[in-house]
Amino acid sequence: MICVQRVLTGEKGQRTTSAMNKTVARSGTASEPKGFTVLELMVVIAIVLFVSAAVVASVQSLRQASLSTQADRLAVSIRYLYDLAALNNTVYRLVIDMDSNAYWGEEVSESSRCGSAVLPSE
């Protein structure tokens, strides 16, 4: 804000001054902001990056937890079939159905045994 004084001449030639306040826009500065500053844009971009990184990390940890939970369930099922076979002195097998994404254990009868296979040692 710049204070401007105006000199008035009265009827009898007397000079008087009156002060009036006037807003003057200086050259090189805008009277109203026309956009965002670089700093504001950088802050917004940093916030967006931080939030998206947090979301990606949480989604990955959820997938990892789900995979770990499913692996634990399969391990428990295998251990259960092993214990059941030892207690009942019978043969059980774990059937995995890839089409329906399911697995289950079942007792193997003498007539449906596939035989045995020896896995190669490492």
Name beta bridge partners: 17: 7
Residue 44: domain span: 40-111
Phi, psi of 7 (to 5 degrees): -95, 125
Give the pLDDT confidence score for residue 18 in this predicted structure.
56
Identify whether 83 is part of a domain.
yes
Separation between Cα atoms, residue 108 and residue 93, nearest integer Å:
7
Domain count, the chain: 1
Identify whether 30 is part of a domain.
no
pTM score of the predicted model:
0.45
Rounded to the nearest angstrom, the gap between the alpha carbon of residue 108 and the centroid of all alpha carbons in its chain is 47
Give the pLDDT confidence score for residue 5 in this predicted structure.
60
Give the pLDDT confidence score for residue 120 in this predicted structure.
73
Identify whether 9 is part of a domain.
no
pLDDT higher at 19 or 42: 42
pLDDT higher at 102 or 10: 102
For the segment 7-24, the average pLDDT, to the nearest whole number, is 57
